[in-house]
Every structure is written in structure tokens, then in C-alpha cells.
A = this chain, B = another copy of it.
Amino acid sequence: MGLYGGIEAGGTKFVCGIGTGPDDLRAVVRFPTRDPQSTVARAVAFFRGHPQRVHSIGIGAFGPIDPQVGSPTWGHITTTPKLQWTHTPIAAMVTEALGAPVSFDTDVNAAAVAEHRWGAARDTSTFVYLTVGTGIGGGALVHGRRLHGALHPEMGHVPVARAAGDTFAGTCPFHGDCLEGMAAGPAIAARWGQDGSTLAPDHEAWRYEAHYLSLAITGFILALAPERVILGGGVMKQRHLFPMIRQGVRDRLNGYFRVPAIIGAIDSYIVPPALGDDAGILGGIALAQEAVP
């Protein structure tokens, strides 16, 4: 049986893996993201150093990217604020170095594909995957296909109404108080002067966090009608956030969107990723499997 390679190309770290799925991850390596040349060289060295060749490689990358097959800039990381990486043709760099076909998408669309194949979205065809960590990113499958259009979803930057009395300016350099600016990890740290992981479960920080996330998720539900919403990323390791967000979404919908999953079983509608921290690298491997004719 053939092997596949995955690259989770994150803004702070790269993860590379070889395998065929969650029960067969044969090798994984993690290293910090530096400049494009040296970082991609390190990924290439990992795959070259493995005793078996991979059929194909899937890359889930931080963005914005160009995922449009046929576009002259397909496979590029494009206008990212991470300036060293602006207009980096990462897919071509990997495919030329390794001689293997590459499939390419956002990190969150890749994770969504993995959750669809092996994880929390196996029984759905239209769902949203949101990651809440150093940034907030959203991917989606619609009718089983990765959502692209003019670009790809950028769910982290949706406008959100402020909680009553909230005067925090927000940390997004583009929008100030968009979802990411109010609710990503750095926003929590800036607001409270300490990392979210050190705040007690009854700290008022989580009330704000649940406010902004449930507001944005309500919007995604009404815009996309997903059959499930998966919430991953470092901030969502605070598992006490899940019941708060579920209640917030129900309160906001207020009986309008009468889907049995929401009305009767919201605990299995808004869920953590079944693949945990491996969703990203397994997303790369799942994309690689799609790249093979």
C-alpha cells in the first residue's frame, strides 16, 4: 500500500508527516517556521530521508493562499502579512524538489478534509471547521467539496458585535475588533495580561470568549447551514468553553433555525475535532490522497 506525505505549513511551526491515516502515521517531524527557503528545505530533507517514497504530498498552509487549480499563482502563499512569505510558490518548491504531485489548500480546509474522512464530520457533507489559536481560521466542506470561491473563507475576520460594556480595542491589525481581534489567543493575553491557559474556568475572560465565538458561529450557521461545527485550536482546549458556546448559539438563534441537531442535540452539533492535534497533519495526508489520479 502506498504512502502519502503531509505538510501542515503553519505561521509559527511546520509539521511534516508520512503515512496513510490516523492509525498509520509512520513518521512526524515538527520545526519552527523561518524563511521560506530554509523551512521548505527542511521539509524536503525529511521526506528524502525516509526509507520509502511517498506517492504525493498534501500541503495545508497559512494564508491567504491561491488554491484555484489552473490559476497562474496556484500553490502560492500570496498576500500574507508574514512578509518573508509573501508570494511564495510553496507547492512548486515542494513538487520540484521531490518529484511528487502536490495538492494544496488552506490549513483549515485541509483539517476539514481529515475530519470528514476520519473524524467528527464523517456523517456530514456540509460543515464548518474553525480553529481558535494564535489566529482564528475557518474552513468548510460544502456538499463534500472544499469551499473556494473568489478566494477561500477567512472566517476569523468577520465583524462581531461588542459585548455590552466591552471597551477592549481588539488586536487585529486590519480590523481591530473583528472575531480574531477580540477572541484569538493574543487577544485574550492582551486583554488580561496573561495567557488564556493560565486563567481559571470561572474567569470572566471566558464569558467574553463565548460571547464572540457564539455570535460568529451563529452567523456561520445562518449563512452556510452546516450539519456540524467543529472547533479546534489551542484556545478550544479549554473544554468548559463548549457548553458556554452551545448555549450562546441556542440563545441567539432563539428557536428560528429549527434543525433537530441544534434544537435537540447541540452537544453533538458543536464539537471538538475527533483527530485532536493531528487534524492538521492528517489534513495534509488526506489532501495528498486526493492528488493521486
Contact = CB atoms under 8 A, between A and B. Distances in A.
Contacts of A223: 138, 153, 155, 158, 219-220, 223-224
A225 B158 CA distance: 12
A278 interface: no
Interface string A147-174: 1111111110111111000000000001
B222 A155 contact: yes
A258 B78 contact: yes
A56 interface: no
Copies of this chain, complex-wide, total: 2
Given A158-B219, A159-B215, A224 B149 contact: yes
Interface in A197-244: 215, 218-227
Nearest to A156: B222
Contacts of A78: 258
Interface of A: 64, 78-79, 124-127, 138, 142-143, 145, 147-155, 157-162, 174-175, 215, 218-227, 252, 254-259, 261-262
